[in-house]
A and B are shown apart, each in its own frame.
Chain A
Amino acid sequence: MSEVRTLQIDGKDVAARSDETILCAAEENEIHIPTLCHLEGLSDVGACRLCVVEVEGTPKLMAACTTTVEEGMKVTTTSERLVAYRRRAIEMLFVERNHICAVCVANNNCELQAHARNVGLDHFELPLMHPALPVDASHERFVMDHNRCILCTRCVRVCDEVEQAHTWDVAGRGTGARIVSDLGMPWGSSTTCTSCGKCVQVCPTGALFEKGRSISEPKARRPYLPYLVRVKERER
């Protein structure tokens, strides 16, 4: 049974349930915290580090999406330090893979690009890593381009939690981590994939896309996820 907690976010007194995250409490009070790996309807993993906030009493930055509220907490969502940290996190996502917006299917429809624009990221201070990465086009309808993957794991979570196929997972560690289908088989030979396309729908960048989609061509975004989650909850 959850209880009520009172805390301060950016100096504003707010109340939240004891099982809610800082992100959730902030959103309920119309305080905007940038997010990327978070998607309503899916569990949170704190992978992208964009939603980091400062909590009084701890020198560590906390991911708002995975930190539950506590009584008397004092949270700051915007500061010079946080802005610099978020900007650097976005820059790291870019330099780690090969993101060429001009020739990307998601150009102008990309959450990573939108975040970069919001923080004014117009050049990189960190050296580009230029990894040689494959494109898996073995699936009949979809393509996975690892060059554009930011390892947010939305695809992994939607496949596991909503479609319950668990085709996707993460293999490797650090910069060597890759999204894999089944046990590293080509996507087209996956025996678990139902070709539902939910992973393609939730991908924030151009890493997962419909075959035949051309550069800058907007994908049909269907706000179906909250409905599916509600249906699933009702079944339980």
Chain B
Amino acid sequence: MSEIIIEPVTRIEGHAKIAVSVGADGEVTDARFSVTQVRGFERIAVGRPLHEMPSFMARICGICPTSHLLASAKACDEVLGVSPPLAARQLRRVMNLAQIVQSHALHFFHLSSPDLLLGFDSDPGARNIAGVAARAPELARDGIALRKFGQQIIEKLGGKRIHPAWVVPGGVSAPLSTEQRDTILATVPDAHARAARTLDWFKKNLASWAEEAAHFGSFPSLYMGLVHHDSGNAAYSEGRLRMVDENGRRLLDDVDPRPYWEYLGEAVEPFSYLKSPYYKALGYPAGIYRVGPLARLNVIDHLGSPAADAELAEYRLRLGRFPNGSFHYHWARLIELLHCIDTIGAILSGPGILDEDVRAHAAVNNREGVGVSEAPRGTLFHHYRVDKDGIVQWVNLVIATGHNNLAMNRSVLQVAQHYIKGDQVREGALNRVEAVIRAYDPCLSCSTHAIGQMPLVLDVFGPGGELLRRVSRSAEQ
């Protein structure tokens, strides 16, 4: 048996390696996705005052600080026992949606479009955003503009693009001004046009990725996400939990997402710092489920904005009601991008958004709180316990990327089995193994609560465990 190690995995957020085991007959027998970093935020937070948590937890990540900010603030709301004023909740929603827009844009255009536009077998030296800009400048410009759209909304609201301190326990620290609202609203039509154009480009080229779509983590699993329980619309900030199987049967529906431990277990594997959550009722590892764009579009009935719902209808028409291929995360992500842009416009045009009552104050009224929201990559849980003075005693974070861990492992195996034969590893095969992980847009910095970028080594071990071949790639690519 031989083993192929891909380390580091590139163009994802964080550090990881992939180990592929090859049998004597040259067939892939096993593949593992290992996250090789740990950060320990759950421990560092112990002993700190509750009110520091949102800004402190935002430091878990530079890509999606806002997601942590929101989930953390919601957990704090519960510890305080307050419900933030409506305007504050709406403003938090806008910031969450802006966060999803910028993160989805970053992922699709900067990290994944090089594979999609230039090809999985193209020269790795040019397979990056600069290569995209050279080949399709319009696409690259749309990517940069959409990310800017999201980031600038975050800055307008929070005063800062990364790690804004504006979301606080009990609400937000400052109301929205008319001028801020109008400036943001003025940018919505342009962002909408760019997202719609990208969707058209993606749909036009979908057929050319048929082989990848068929083998990139294409298997039945459960799907989980937040749903607005009256309308069945997508809910990113406040919603009830729904889990469906590959046929759409609802295993969980209209469930309070906060007592997550009742239905989610967290397994730990010795080869990875990333925990492997699973659906408890089905056990480990049978309770494999996915979260994020693909899963969200599977669990919801509708998105709740007309243009995106039309796109969703087409998506379901072409792929089926419950698509199970992880390659379709890309398409799902683009539809969400459009939905989030339009929803930002709708919320900001709504009444009461300029209300000055945006913060509820209270002392510690509960010793425990769970905050749940949809981050770009999936459902995010922050769970805190505090003492009577509000000093944090215990923290558990269940991060979006973690939910997908089992699915990522299975996807890596599927891709490896399809593209790798024996120890003769082509660079394109290596890239596809990485690309399937990339489709999930994992944020390992968040999920192991770590710092860094991704460098990659692929080792091929012989039947006796001897190293046959090493393919390595530096972090710059």
Contacts and interface: CB of A to CB of B under 8 A. Distances in A.
A211 B51 CA distance: 8
A217 interface: yes
Given A214-B173, A217-B173, A134 B55 contact: no
A86 to B, nearest CB: 30
Nearest to A187: B389
B391 interface: yes
B24 interface: no
Contacts of A135: 47-49, 391
A193 to B, nearest CB: 15
Interface residues of B, number: 19
Interface string B163-200: 10100110001000000000000000000000000000
Contact of B363 (A143, A211, A216, A217): A211
A212 B50 CA distance: 8
| Chain A facing B: main interface SS | loop
Contacts of B389: 137-138, 188
A212 B59 contact: no
Contacts of B27: none
Interface in A103-121: 103, 105, 107
A145 B391 CA distance: 11
B390 interface: yes
A215 B390 contact: no
Interface in B23-60: 47-49, 51-52, 54-56, 59
A59 B468 CA distance: 70
Interface size class of A (residues with CB under 8 A): 10 to 19
Contacts of A103: 52, 55-56, 59
A214 B48 CA distance: 12
B59 A213 contact: no
A1 interface: no
Contact of B168 (A107, A143, A211, A214): A214
Contacts of A185: none
B49 A143 contact: yes
A102 interface: yes
A214 B47 contact: no
A232 B51 CA distance: 37
B391 A137 contact: yes
Contacts of B56: 103, 215
Contacts of B173: 214, 217
A137 B165 contact: no
20 contacts: A102-B59, A103-B52, A103-B55, A105-B51, A134-B47, A135-B48, A135-B391, A137-B390, A145-B49, A188-B389, A211-B363, A211-B390, A212-B363, A213-B51, A214-B54, A214-B168, A215-B51, A215-B165, A216-B55, A216-B165
A-B residue pairs, 7 tightest by C-beta:
A215-B55, A137-B389, A214-B168, A215-B165, A216-B165, A103-B56, A214-B51
